[in-house]
Amino acid sequence: MNKKVALITGSSRGIGEEIVLLLAENNYHVIINCKTSAAELNAVAAKIESLPGATWESYLADVGDPAAVKEMFTQINARHQKVDLLVNNAGISHLGLLSEMTDEEWDTLLRTNLSSVFYCCREVIPQMVHSKAGRILNISSIWGLVGASCEVAYSASKAGVDGLTKALAKELAPCNIQVNALSLGVIETKMNATFNEEERQVLMDEIPSGRFGTSKEAAQMAYHILTSPTYLTGQVINMDGGLL
Instruction: Please say whether the beta carbons of 182 and 237 come within 8 A.
Output: yes
For residue 148, give every residue at least 6 positions away whose Cβ sits within 8 Å of its Cβ, in sequence order, or none: 154, 155
At 229, which amino acid appears?
A: P
For residue 229, give every residue at least 6 positions away whose Cβ sits within 8 Å of its Cβ, in sequence order, or none: none
Q: SS3 helix, strand, coil % of the chain, rounded to 5?
A: 50, 15, 30
Sign of torsion over alpha carbons 71, 77, 82, 84: negative
Catalytic entry in 28, 154, 223, 231: 154
231 given a catalytic annotation: no
Q: Report how far residue 4's alpha carbon sits from residue 2's, in angstroms, rounded to the nearest whole number.
A: 7
DSSP codes, 7-66? EESS-SSHHHHHHHHHHHHTTPEEEEEESS-HHHHHHHHHHHHTSTT-EEEEEE--TTSH
Residue 239 φ/ψ, nearest 5 degrees: -140, 100
Q: Which residues participate in catalysis according to the annotation?
A: 154
